[in-house]
Chains A and B, each alone.
Chain A
């Protein structure tokens, strides 16, 4: 019998693809990165010592708190309002549908900055605000300028802006839940409110969360516009300092560092919330760098 080519198969070594291209591109990118880093650290005009000295300055920290406060308020009320708007839009009442549509159309069309100025100057349109009830008469009134502070104008503009965007995201999420799910819940005897909370929302969350996470991070950065009405967020606090010291770049870097930190924390938070709501669904989970890792369930 002649020897066959696969007779000595037991001793064969398996060599994987070497991926030379990957190595080469990694080296190039790392080199460029090193160059950029070197130019930043080596350039005295970055004034890293000033950055370090101001990073935890009291007024800066207060500014950070203001930025967080504005973000939290506008996200909470914005998404609550967005849910109401989305439900109106999906209702079978044509009046509610039109009002919701018009609201989103208008407030997504007007730039945030313009809205901020409009709310801040609303006293020009309505010098007095009053609440009157039929038969009771006027129960409350005040000069608009007493009610509209930079803070309340900022909150109004941010919440209204956020709710218009949240409405679209939530509507898409609700619509992504199959009709069969609603019917199964109805057939079991769940009431409409229970169906929304127990069946629709938890499943809609999977569609809602990725864009909502981006929205929240975007909103955090959007709050920077309030500096134009002299509300002391982290950016305006930095501006106050550099108007005095002329250390413009280092103080902008201080603000940058804080925005970086806050958005990074939000990204990590977003990851954990998404994992929670992907229960029973995803074939693969993603770690916080966005790489797919097998979920424990699929191994079960």
Chain B
């Protein structure tokens, strides 16, 4: 199986404080990878390095065959201008803990704007695809609503549809259900499960072990900026090797 994402030696620090200490990771195309780890272990930072929302202090990120955020000349990596990075980000969808829908746009406008404005695709095409996506996340009837009129779970489903409308190769989820009331978590996970079966590559930071067990192909456990244990999801959940993973699983279950 080919790799959709390849991380090599990722280092990142914030004002001298190392947050990622050399991450190597291969994520197979079409797979679902769940990243687990205690708060502050660097999970969000790692996701944000994949679409270059964070600059790297060392290492490389490849999505498909593309080196993300940098250009190699000899033995140096030169940061790409923002415009080029923006082009690369079109291929990487991201869903945030806080949804971050655009409050001044309706649900439908939130979804169609990027494909229209960035990709320059035809309006009829984009509109039809947006409605199909809204159907898929169960919100076709709210196409004309404003984000603030929706529940958190509905907003997050729209955010997923918005990311998918750009037809990305990979989808990154950063704790997509952590800001939701407990009774709304299920509807978002349901949408994500459907998506997992559609064959898109997904990397999901979450504390939902049930989701990981049911949907994930692989699990990566991080602690203190390092990958402590990684491997087949069931295997890792049933036979955690590292004491820190055992401790973590005991604390979240």
Given A280-B147, A280-B148, check contact A187 B92 (CB 8 Å). Answer: yes
User: Could you say which residues of chain B place their CB within 8 Å of the CB of A186?
Assistant: 53, 86, 89
Query: Given A187-B94, A188-B114, A189-B87, A180–B100 Cβ distance below 8 Å?
Result: yes
Q: How far is the CB of A187 from chain B (nearest CB, A)?
A: 4
Chain A 165-193 residues near chain B, CB threshold 8 A? 178, 180-181, 183-192
Inter-chain contact count A-B, CB under 8 Å? 81
A203 to B101: give the CA distance in the assembly, Å. 12
B86 near A184: Cβ-Cβ < 8 Å = no
Min CB–CB distance A79 → chain B (angstroms):
20
Q: Are B148 and A281 in contact (CB under 8 A)?
A: yes
The answer to the question of B8 belonging to the interface, with a C-beta cut-off of 8 Å to chain A, is no
Name the residue in A187, A280, A281, A300 with the highest tally of chain B Cβ atoms < 10 Å from its Cβ. Answer: A187
Q: Which residue of B lies closest to A178 (CB)?
A: B100
Q: A183-B96, A189-B166 are in contact. Are A194 and B118 (CB under 8 A)?
A: yes
One of B89, B98, B113, B148 near A187 (C-beta < 8 A): B89
Q: Does B82 reach chain A (CB closer than 8 Å)?
A: yes
Question: Chain A, interface size: which category?
Answer: 20 to 34
Q: Which residue of A lies closest to B90 (CB)?
A: A189
**Are the CB atoms of A203 and B103 closer together than 8 Å?**
yes
Chain B: residues with Cβ within 8 Å of the partner, total of 34
Query: Is B100 a contact partner of A184 (Cβ separation < 8 A)?
Result: yes
A selection of 5 A-B contacts at a CB cut-off of 8 Å is A178-B100, A183-B53, A184-B100, A202-B104, A280-B146
Given known contacts A191-B82, A279-B104, A300-B149, is B96 in contact with A184 (CB within 8 Å)?
Answer: yes
Interface string of B89-119 (1 = CB under 8 A from A): 1101110101011111110000001100110
Cβ-defined contact, B51 with A184, below 8 A: no
Cβ of B163 under 8 Å from chain A: yes
Least distance between B175 CB and chain A CB atoms (Å): 13
Instruction: Find the A residue at minimum CB distance from B103.
Output: A280
Residue of B nearest to A189 (CB): B90
Inter-subunit contact B149/A191 (CB<8 Å): no
* A194 contact set on B, CB distance < 8 A: 117-118
Let me know if A281 and B87 touch, CB within 8 A.
Answer: no
Verify A280–B89 contact, CB threshold 8 A.
no
Say yes or no: is B77 at the interface (Cβ < 8 Å to chain A): no
Closest to B162 in A: A188
Please, how many angstroms separate the alpha-carbon atoms of A279 and B144 in the complex?
A: 12
Between B87, B96, B103, B106, the greatest number of chain A beta carbons within 10 A of the residue's beta carbon is seen for B103
Is B145 located at the chain interface by the 8 A CB criterion?
yes
Task: Please tell me if the beta carbons of A192 and B96 are within 8 angstroms of each other in the complex.
Answer: no
